[in-house]
């Protein structure tokens, strides 16, 4: 049997064994679907805090006082930015709405100019955050106009020309990253250690097939299992839950493949330092659970403390999650995810190289 045929046979056998492992499938694919239901349907858009970017085209003391009154409201975060920067933030889903102050705001407030409307722009989706934003701005505008000339009004909320990302749209790329993390680490780390403990690897090594081929088949088999689960999740997410992809499906291939390679490499590295399956499981849990909550799967990294943000941005899952969300939620092109892909590629090469060097057969 040629090396390639042996490699293919072992890799396919690894995929079959992983698919037959129902407990592992429930823990990865099953939990990913469950998370989509819980976080997407039950808790999506339920936060009370709202954030605005304000575009102040007036620049008078009256407009500054208006923005100060809005920023002083409890639960409101307000930043004054340029038009381009504000709408870029809205497109990235990092704020609730954009507030546009017209150039004649101060004159209208003083009764020396024509009536003016304060514009409010949202990304759409109908979440409770946008409803809260509408109410807050309406109350502040009404109260502020009451102290001056009654020529200031609030326009009806407008949906900006950005993707209307729903909770399910956001959760699908998050759960793809979740499967990349858990399956990539666990299938390789625990699977290889169990084969070592039961002397299966030693028997493989006794065959005419080279050691490199044996290890490559195990790693590639684990990676193919991850990709198979992602395919099932995408089909469920789009057909059952109605999640949408605003980008090119083909652009998902680089971050998925490189992200899978990164965490397969980390799983391989755990195998290299673990002597028993129990220690492999413990190390895998120590790696996966902190990463899951540090990498923006369930809430933005920007909400974490600055020091934690710095640590999170070093880790590969944050880059995988960022690339997937940019493509699927923002419709970004490849140039926007180049850095993400490069970081994941470095992680994959380094972890697999170190793990291959340190790997023990028994």
Per-residue confidence (pLDDT) for residue 156, from 0 to 100: 47
Distance of CA 91 to the CA centre of its chain: 15
Per-residue confidence (pLDDT) for residue 244, from 0 to 100: 85
Q: What is the pLDDT of residues 39-71, one digit of tens each?
A: 655 544 444 467 888 999 988 888 888 888 888
Angle between helices 253-273 and 211-239 (to 10 degrees): 130
- Is 5 strand, coil or helix? helix
0.75 surpassed by pTM: no
Q: Which residues of the chain have pLDDT under 70?
A: 1-3, 7, 10, 14-15, 17-49, 123-136, 142-165, 299-300, 302-303, 361-362
Strands 97-101 and 50-56 come out as: parallel
Q: What is the pLDDT of residues 95-146, one digit of tens each?
A: 878 888 888 888 887 778 788 888 888 765 544 456 556 666 777 776 666 5
Q: Are 163 and 123 in contact (CB under 8 A)?
A: yes
Look-up: residue for tokens 């509408």? Answer: 134
What backbone phi and psi angles, to 5 degrees, belong to 80?
-90, 125
- Could you give all domains of the chain from N- to C-terminal order, each with its CATH number? 3-42+166-358 (no CATH), 50-159 (3.40.1710.10)
Angle between helices 3-20 and 211-239 (to 10 degrees): 40
Look-up: residue for tokens 């992200």? Answer: 259
Q: Give me the DSSP letters along 96-152.
A: SEEEEE-TTHHHHHTTSS--EEEEEEE--S--HHHHHHHHHHHHHHHHHHHHS-TTE
Average pLDDT, the chain: 77
Q: Are 98 and 90 in contact (CB under 8 A)?
A: yes
Nearest-5° Cα angle at 328, 164 to 295: 105
Q: How far is CA 289 from CA 192, 285, 295, in A?
A: 20, 6, 10
């Amino acid at each position: 049997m040629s090396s390639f045929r042996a490699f293919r046979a072992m890799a396919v056998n690894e995929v079959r064994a992983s698919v037959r492992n129902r407990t592992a499938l429930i823990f990865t694919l099953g939990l990913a679907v469950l998370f989509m239901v819980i976080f997407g349907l039950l808790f999506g858009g339920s936060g009370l805090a709202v954030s605005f970017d304000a575009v102040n085209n007036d620049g008078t003391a009256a407009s500054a006082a208006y923005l100060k009154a809005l920023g002083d409201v409890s639960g409101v975060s307000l930043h004054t930015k340029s038009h381009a920067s504000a709408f870029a933030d809205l497109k990235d889903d990092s704020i609730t709405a954009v507030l546009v102050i017209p150039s004649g705001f101060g004159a209208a407030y003083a009764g020396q100019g024509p009536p003016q409307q304060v514009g409010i722009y949202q990304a759409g989706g109908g979440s409770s955050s946008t409803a809260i934003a509408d109410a807050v701005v309406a109350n502040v505008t009404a109260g502020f106009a009451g102290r001056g000339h009654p020529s200031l009004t609030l326009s009806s909320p407008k949906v900006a020309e950005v993707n209307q990302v729903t909770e399910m749209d956001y959760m699908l790329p998050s759960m793809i990253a979740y499967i990349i993390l858990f399956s990539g680490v666990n299938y390789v780390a625990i699977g290889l250690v169990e084969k070592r403990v039961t002397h299966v690897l030693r028997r493989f090594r006794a065959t005419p097939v080279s050691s490199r081929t044996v290890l490559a088949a195990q790693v590639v088999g684990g990676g193919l299992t991850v990709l198979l689960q992602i395919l099932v999740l995408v089909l469920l997410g789009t057909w059952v839950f109605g999640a949408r992809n605003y980008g090119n499906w083909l652009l998902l291939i680089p971050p998925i493949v490189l992200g899978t390679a990164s965490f397969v490499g980390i799983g391989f590295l755990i195998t290299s330092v673990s002597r028993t399956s129990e220690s492999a499981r413990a190390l895998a849990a120590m790696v996966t659970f902190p990463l899951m909550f540090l990498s923006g799967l369930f809430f933005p990294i920007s909400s974490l403390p600055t020091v934690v943000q710095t640590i999170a941005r070093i880790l590969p899952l944050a880059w995988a999650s960022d690339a997937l969300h940019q493509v699927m939620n923002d419709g970004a092109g490849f140039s926007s995810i180049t850095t993400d892909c490069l970081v994941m590629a470095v992680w994959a090469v380094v972890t697999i190289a170190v793990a291959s060097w340190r790997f023990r057969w028994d």
